[in-house]
C-alpha cells in the first residue's frame, strides 16, 4: 500500500507537469513543432543545429525551439504512461484485496493509451480542433482520476468507511469540465483574440455571430489548422460561448457554495476555490484587454488546472465532513 501511494503521488505530480506542458506547447504554437510521431524529424533527440535535419528534410522549415517544446512534452507524457502501467501491475497484484481500486487503475491505463493515440492524431490530423480539445480534456481527466485513485488508497490506509461524493461538488466539477472544454475549443480554434472588449465582443460594432460554424466539431481542416481557419464571426461566437460557460460556472458555484457553507470543515476550501475562480475571471478579462500575451495565457491555463485541483480537494473534504455527520448521528442514537 505504501508503494501504491508513492506511485500515485508521483504520478499526480507528473500528470500536473504534463498538463501544464501541454498548455505551454499549444500556446507557443508548437503543436506541429515535430511533423512526425512519436519521434521528431525521424529522431528521438534533436541535434543542436538544424543543418543536419535540413539535409534529411529539404524544403522544410525547421524550428528547433518548437521541436524541443513538443519533445519535452512527449518525454514527460511517456514517463507518466510508464508510471500508470506500473500502477496497473500493482493493482493486478492487489486485485484480491477488498476495496483496492483495481478497476480505476485499469481505467487509467486505458485512458493513457487513448491519450497516446490522440497525441498521434494531433500531429497526423494537423491540429484538428476536436482532436486537440479531446487531448486536453483527456489530460485533465487523467489528472482527476489519479487524484481520485490516491484519495481511495488513503481511505484504505486510514480504514475510513466508504461515503459517496457530495452531489453539489459533483455538479461543480461537471460545470468546470464543460468550461474547460469550451476553453480548450477557444484555444484550439485561435479564438482567444476574437473579441476586443472584455464585456461586449466589439464595443463599436455589431457582430453577426456564427455559432453553427464556430461550434461545429467536424469542420474541414485543410492542409493544417495552425493559426485557425474559421472566419471572424465564428471565432467571436466561440469566444462568447466561452464567456457564457464562465457565467454558468459562477451560477453553479454560487448554488453549491450556498448548500455546502453550513459545514464548517468545508468553508476554508470553498474560500480557496472562490479566490481561484475570481482570479481566473480576472485573468480572462486581462487576456482580452491585452490581446492574449503569452504570460497571461499560460497563467489562465494554469489557473484552470488549479481550479480543478481545488475542487478535487473540496470533494475529499466533503467526504470527510459527511463521515463526521454520520458518525455524530450514530453516536447520538
Rounded to the nearest 5°, which phi and psi values hold at 40? -135, 115
d(CA 248, CA 236): 18
- Which residue out of 55, 70, 233, 322 is catalytically annotated? 70
Asked whether the CA dihedral 43, 28, 51, 72 is positive or negative, the reply is negative
- To the query of whether residue 160 is one of the catalytic residues in this protein, the response is no
d(CA 35, CA 32): 6
CB 253 within 8 A of CB 277: yes
Bridge partner residues of 43 (DSSP): 40
Cβ burial 211-244 (10 Å sphere, 16+ → b, else e): eeebeeeebeeeeebeebbbeeebbbbbbbbbbe
CB 211 within 8 A of CB 186: no
Cell of 322: 459527511
CB 132 within 8 A of CB 124: no
d(CA 62, CA 50): 7
CA 26 vs. chain centroid, Å, equals 12
How many distinct helices (H) and strands (E) make up the chain? 10, 0
Rounded to the nearest 5°, which phi and psi values hold at 94? -100, 15
Catalytic residues: 70
Amino acid at each position: 500500500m505504501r508503494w501504491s501511494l508513492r506511485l500515485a503521488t508521483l504520478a499526480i505530480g507528473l500528470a500536473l507537469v504534463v498538463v501544464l506542458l501541454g498548455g505551454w506547447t499549444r500556446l507557443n504554437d508548437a503543436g506541429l513543432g515535430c511533423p512526425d510521431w512519436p519521434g521528431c524529424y525521424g529522431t528521438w533527440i534533436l541535434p543542436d543545429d538544424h543543418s543536419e535535419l535540413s539535409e534529411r528534410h529539404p524544403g522544410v522549415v525547421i524550428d528547433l525551439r518548437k521541436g524541443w517544446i513538443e519533445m519535452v512534452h512527449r518525454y514527460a507524457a511517456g514517463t507518466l504512461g510508464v508510471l500508470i502501467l506500473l500502477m496497473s501491475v500493482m493493482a493486478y497484484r492487489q486485485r484480491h484485496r477488498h476495496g483496492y481500486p483495481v478497476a480505476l487503475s485499469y481505467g487509467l491505463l486505458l485512458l493513457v493509451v487513448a491519450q497516446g493515440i490522440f497525441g498521434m492524431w494531433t500531429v497526423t490530423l494537423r491540429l484538428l480542433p476536436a482532436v486537440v480539445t479531446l487531448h486536453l480534456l483527456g489530460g485533465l481527466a487523467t489528472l482527476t482520476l489519479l487524484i481520485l485513485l490516491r484519495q481511495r488508497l488513503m481511505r484504505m490506509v486510514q480504514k475510513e468507511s466508504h461515503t459517496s461524493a457530495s452531489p453539489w461538488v459533483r455538479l461543480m466539477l461537471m460545470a468546470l469540465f464543460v468550461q474547460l472544454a469550451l476553453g480548450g475549443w477557444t484555444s484550439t480554434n485561435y479564438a482567444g483574440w476574437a473579441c476586443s472588449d472584455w464585456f461586449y465582443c466589439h464595443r463599436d460594432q455589431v457582430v453577426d455571430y456564427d455559432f453553427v460554424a464556430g461550434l461545429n466539431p467536424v469542420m474541414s481542416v485543410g492542409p493544417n489548422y495552425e493559426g485557425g481557419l474559421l472566419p471572424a464571426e465564428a471565432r467571436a461566437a466561440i469566444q462568447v460561448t466561452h464567456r457564457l460557460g464562465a457565467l454558468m460556472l459562477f451560477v453553479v458555484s454560487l448554488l453549491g457554495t450556498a448548500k455546502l457553507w453550513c459545514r464548517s470543515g468545508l468553508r476554508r476550501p470553498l474560500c480557496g476555490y472562490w479566490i481561484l475562480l475570481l482570479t481566473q475571471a480576472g485573468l480572462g478579462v486581462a487576456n482580452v484587454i491585452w490581446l492574449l500575451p503569452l504570460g497571461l495565457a499560460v497563467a489562465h491555463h494554469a489557473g484552470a488546472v488549479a481550479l480543478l485541483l481545488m475542487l478535487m480537494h473540496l470533494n475529499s473534504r466533503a467526504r470527510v465532513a459527511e463521515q463526521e455527520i454520520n458518525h455524530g448521528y450514530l453516536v447520538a442514537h
